[in-house]
Structure 1
Amino acid sequence: MTTETTTERPGISAAVIVKDGRVLMVRRRVSEGELLWQFPAGQIEPGEAAEDAAVRETVEETGLVVTAIRFLGERVHPKTGRSMSYTACEIVQGEARVVDEEELDAVAWVSHSKITDYVPYPLDEKVQEYLDGVLPH
């Protein structure tokens, strides 16, 4: 008889979306510790690629249709301990708004200089490098 000893939770995939010199952040209704504002994100479904999960979660949460342009990397999130993947996405159509009202209560387009006002701890370094390259300082 074998017993399942893994309690590993599914990985989370986040979309890093830039428009008009700002990055999209969403505010969770229920924060995970300090994690209140974050990129649109959600659990990766079994058999789903991280990039596909980022695209799916973005439309489910914000109504924004995006396409994955570059996988940025992954890490164990320092605040939640969850496995995180980050994908740069570009907008295909739509306007960002709160669609999933159970999960989100606000969306914001955040300038480079204001990111630390929303996220008071370091971003993943590959995400930070990407944003440093695409957002005006």
Structure 2
Amino acid sequence: MSAIGPVPVRCVGGILHDQAGRLLLVRRANDPGRGLWSIPGGRVEPGETDNAALIREMREETGLVVRPGALVGHVVRGRYEIHDYICEVEGGFLRAGDDAAEVRWVDEATFVALALTDGLADTLRGWEMLPRC
């Protein structure tokens, strides 16, 4: 008899830096990661492309309209397969919404002081995507 594990859930995340080099983070309002800071993103809905999901999730969580760019990398956190992309802001107004309790641009000093989701700092460091100021 073979065991079948849980079906992975495909997710996307958006990595945004502003002109000053600060990184956009959200504080999660729901599990997984409630109360912790992470890059914005979420689940890819059935029939949705990563780009479409990223545009939708970024607008829902941050109020920003983004243009997805290159895939930076991916991580697996439990049953979640998260594919993280560079993004550029095209419009909108920064505000916390949907699954985000708070949203803000953070510099390096603020980043290291925040309660982050598991593995975020190491992952972003490995991808050279930490705040640049």
**TM-score (normalised: structure 2):** 0.78
Q: Shift in Å at residue 25 of structure 1?
A: 0.6
Q: Shift in Å at residue 49 of structure 1?
A: 2.6
Q: Shift in Å at residue 35 of structure 1?
A: 6.6
Aligned with residue 84 of structure 1, among 79, 82, 85: 82
Runs of 4+ that moved beyond 6 A: none
Does the C-alpha gap of structure 1 residues 30 and 110 become closer, same or farther in structure 2, counting only changes over 3 Å?
same
Q: Which amino acid aligns with 1:72?
A: V
> What is the percentage of aligned positions where both structures have the same residue?
28
Q: 3-state DSSP class of the match of 1:47?
A: coil
Q: 3-state DSSP class of the match of 1:73?
A: strand
Contact in 2 for aligned 1:15/1:40 (Cα 8 Å): yes
Does the C-alpha gap of structure 1 residues 87 and 105 become closer, same or farther in structure 2, counting only changes over 3 Å?
same
Does the C-alpha gap of structure 1 residues 92 and 36 become closer, same or farther in structure 2, counting only changes over 3 Å?
same
- Aligned CA RMSD, in angstroms, stands at 2.5
Contact in 2 for aligned 1:65/1:91 (Cα 8 Å): yes
Give deviations 1:69-100, integer Å, cap 9, x for gaps.
Answer: 211111212xx442111011010012210132
**TM-score (normalised: structure 1):** 0.76
Superposition pairs for residues 1-137 of structure 1, below 5 Å? Answer: 7-19=6-18, 20-33=20-33, 36-77=36-77, 80-100=78-98, 103-118=99-114, 119=116, 121-123=118-120, 127-128=124-125, 129-132=127-130, 135-137=131-133
Give deviations 1:24-77, integer Å, cap 9, x for gaps.
Answer: 111112342577111111101123232332221001111100001211111212
Distance in 2 (CA, whole Å) between partners of 1:27 and 1:11 is 20
- Number of residues paired by the alignment? 127
Structure 2 spans left out of the alignment, 5+ residues: none
Distance in 1 (CA, whole Å) between partners of 2:38 and 2:46 is 23
